[in-house]
């Protein structure tokens, strides 16, 4: 067998190994991807029950209820749509009404989002880009600029 043929075979084998590695990486990452939705997007096209997603917006004024057994029930809004959220854990110290929040979890019934993680805005200037964009579209953006 000639040296040129051997090189071509080695290149072909290396390409197949690379394609296989990329395929395995994509399969492994498929379950790690969690999509972000605003309340309006969920109203327009609800995700499947049990699908892990992130929702974001502002905690609606007057909506936070803290049951005696712990956790919290509250509503997240983007000015157009609203989602009822239940959460059994400890809320972040910066969690409060009228502030930005991102909740990760799933819908286990069509009208209630069960959060496993709640993230609150960490200072007065930061908001996740997806949440800021959803609030701008809903005309409830409270930021200092459009950037």
Q: What is the pLDDT of residues 26-67, one digit of tens each?
A: 888 876 667 788 888 888 888 889 888 899 888 988 999 988
Whether 19 shows a pLDDT value over 50: the answer reads yes
- pLDDT by residue (tens digit) across 98-124? 888 899 999 988 889 999 999 886 555
Q: Is 128 buried (19+), middle (13-18) or exposed (0-12) by CB count in 10 A?
A: middle
Question: Which one is predicted more confidently, 63 or 128?
Answer: 63
pLDDT, position 128 = 64
pLDDT, position 146 = 47
pLDDT, position 147 = 45
d(CA 21, CA 101): 37
d(CA 74, CA 120): 13
d(CA 10, CA 2): 13
**Which candidate, 19, 56, 11, places its Cα nearest to that of 36?**
56
């Amino acid at each position: 067998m000639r040296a040129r043929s051997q090189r071509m075979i080695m290149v072909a084998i290396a390409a197949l190994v690379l394609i296989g590695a990329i395929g395995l990486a994509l399969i492994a990452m498929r379950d790690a991807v969690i999509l972000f939705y605003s309340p309006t997007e969920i109203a327009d096209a609800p995700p499947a029950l049990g699908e892990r997603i992130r929702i974001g917006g502002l905690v609606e004024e007057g909506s936070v209820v803290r049951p005696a057994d712990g956790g919290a029930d509250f509503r997240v809004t983007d000015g157009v749509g609203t989602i009822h959220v239940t959460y059994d854990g400890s809320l972040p110290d910066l969690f409060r009404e009228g502030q930005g929040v991102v909740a990760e979890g799933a819908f286990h019934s069509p009208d209630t989002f069960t959060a496993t993680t709640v993230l609150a805005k960490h200072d007065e200037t930061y908001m996740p880009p997806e949440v800021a964009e959803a609030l701008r579209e809903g005309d409830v953006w409270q930021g200092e600029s459009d950037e």
